[in-house]
């Protein structure tokens, strides 16, 4: 059965009501928590989920939470168990004539961030939420209405549960990959020669903005994804608008490593697309001496647990921890024969593709399932209105 005919059968002959969210809720109010403690008994929910802990239990029932302030304004979560809620989050307490999960899925589907207002800092108010119209099937028949809502929730839950299972499997695979990566990169003392990153790297250069009128793509600290190590977003700059940190020229096969908050291990291998572009001075640029090490040998070693431990020991600064380029280049790595490096890199490439590539392996499967879920969520929660009025 096609998805369209399924929806037609599910909703055949029923009427849709469009009450305001305020009429479907006991109340919509703001959280109160402003005090957190590291070892508190209860989680504190905020705009992105759990943001800390507290010893004050504010709630112990399942509720919908909506972020009300900042870039995450409109983000929707579900809180359950014993917890408290921060003062930058709205609490939606639904009545019995609407299933909580049905309301949750609908609010996610309409993207509440679009109603956020404010020039400096985005804001969503309780009043705005209360005015949003919510589709309720068979409003005159509560039993039938809840049955339809329940069926829609059942279908969407099946998609989200599958995605959650795949994500859990991916997490386990990544742990396994990290273990084998560290094993493959481990050598006994005397087994191979060890050198500093500085010894196996070539000098790099900075751009001379006064000597060029070209436009470049700027690789800022936020340009590199911490999940995939890929460059996901850049901005165009020239001598007229280049920020002061836009200085380092990069070439194909350079490895860039972010020296600000270095334990995040934000790094990337420059490919042909970004060769000749400009990176922030917040990156240490490592250009491999090809006769001694492979670029990917450096790349994988910077991903290792050994390097992360080294960074933790050598970073400085509490509020904005950082490590100098010099410290990074002082890190010692094993330098086996290039043929051995190539063999190990080939193995790690296969592991990496399974755990990180969006074109193959589990990440691709998760992406496809997420798109499938979003398609059906939109299909199941898109109802015709009796007039042209747009909700919210």
Q: Spell out the per-residue pLDDT of the chain, length 392, in tens.
A: 445 555 566 666 678 889 999 999 999 998 987 777 777 889 899 888 888 888 888 898 899 999 998 888 899 999 999 999 998 899 999 988 899 999 999 998 888 988 888 877 888 999 999 999 998 988 888 899 899 899 889 988 888 888 788 888 878 888 888 888 889 898 888 889 999 999 999 999 999 999 999 999 999 998 998 888 899 889 999 999 999 999 999 999 999 999 999 999 999 999 999 999 999 999 999 999 999 999 999 999 999 999 999 999 999 988 889 999 999 999 999 999 999 999 999 999 888 877 765 546 667 777 888 888 788 777 777 776 665 444 44
- Residue 69's Cβ-count burial label (10 Å; 0-12, 13-18, 19+) is buried
Q: Beta 42-46 vs 84-85: how paired, if at all? A: parallel
Please indicate, yes or no, whether the overall pTM of this predicted structure exceeds 0.75: no
What span, in angstroms and rounded, lies between the C-alpha atoms of 106 and 104?
A: 5
Q: 192-225 as b/e, with b when 16 or more CB fall inside 10 Å?
A: eeebebeebbeebeebebeeeeeebbbbbbebbe
Residue 42: helix, strand or coil by DSSP? strand
Q: Distances in Å between the alpha carbon of 367 and those of 49, 106, 225?
A: 21, 21, 16
What span, in angstroms and rounded, lies between the C-alpha atoms of 283 and 261?
A: 11
- Residue 17's Cβ-count burial label (10 Å; 0-12, 13-18, 19+) is middle
Cβ 181 vs Cβ 299: under 8 Å = no
Residue closest to 103 by CA, chosen among 133, 60, 71, 144: 133
Cβ 380 vs Cβ 155: under 8 Å = yes
Residue closest to 269 by CA, chosen among 252, 283, 281: 252
What span, in angstroms and rounded, lies between the C-alpha atoms of 64 and 68?
A: 13
HSE-CB for 339 with a 13 A CA cutoff: 0
What are 249's strand-pairing partners?
278
Cβ 335 vs Cβ 380: under 8 Å = no
Q: Beta 235-237 vs 216-219: how paired, if at all? A: antiparallel
Q: Distances in Å between the alpha carbon of 112 and those of 63, 91, 117, 125, 247?
A: 17, 14, 11, 11, 39
For residue 391, give the DSSP letter. Answer: P
Q: How far apart are the first and last CA of the chain?
A: 33
């Amino acid at each position: 059965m096609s998805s369209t005919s399924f929806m037609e059968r599910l909703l055949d002959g029923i009427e849709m009501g469009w009450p305001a969210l305020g009429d479907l809720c006991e109340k919509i109010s703001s959280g109160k928590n402003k005090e957190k403690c590291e070892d508190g008994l209860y989680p504190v929910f905020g705009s992105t989920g759990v943001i800390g802990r507290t010893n004050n239990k504010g709630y112990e029932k399942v509720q919908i939470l909506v972020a009300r302030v900042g870039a995450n304004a409109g983000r929707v979560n579900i809180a359950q168990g014993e917890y408290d809620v921060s003062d930058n989050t709205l609490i939606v307490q639904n009545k019995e004539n609407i299933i909580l999960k049905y309301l949750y899925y609908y609010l996610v589907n309409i993207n509440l961030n679009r109603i956020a207002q404010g020039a400096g800092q985005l804001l969503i108010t309780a009043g705005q939420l209360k005015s949003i119209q919510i589709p309720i099937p068979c409003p005159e028949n509560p039993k039938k209405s809840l049955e339809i809502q329940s069926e829609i929730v059942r279908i969407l839950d099946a998609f989200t549960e599958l995605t959650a299972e795949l994500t859990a499997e991916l997490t386990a695979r990544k742990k396994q990959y990290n273990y084998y990566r560290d094993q493959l990169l481990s050598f006994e003392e005397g087994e191979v020669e060890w050198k500093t990153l500085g010894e196996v790297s070539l000098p790099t250069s900075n751009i001379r903005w006064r000597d060029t009128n070209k436009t470049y793509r700027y690789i800022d600290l936020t340009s590199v994804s911490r999940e995939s190590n890929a460059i996901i977003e850049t901005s165009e700059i020239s001598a007229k608008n280049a920020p002061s940190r836009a200085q380092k020229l990069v070439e194909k096969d350079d490895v860039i490593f972010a020296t600000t908050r270095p334990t995040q291990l934000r790094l990337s291998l420059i490919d042909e697309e970004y060769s000749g572009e400009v990176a922030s001075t917040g990156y240490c640029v490592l250009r491999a001496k090809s006769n001694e090490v492979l670029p990917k040998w450096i790349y994988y070693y910077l991903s290792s647990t050994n390097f992360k431990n080294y960074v933790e020991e050598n970073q400085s600064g509490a509020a904005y921890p950082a490590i100098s380029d010099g410290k990074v280049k002082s890190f010692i790595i094993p330098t086996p024969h290039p043929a051995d490096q190539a063999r190990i890199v080939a193995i790690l490439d296969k592991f990496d593709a399974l755990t990180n590539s969006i074109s193959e392996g589990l990440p691709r499967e998760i992406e496809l399932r997420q798109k499938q879920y979003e398609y059906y969520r939109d299909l199941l929660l898109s109802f015709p209105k009796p007039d042209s009025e747009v909700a919210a």
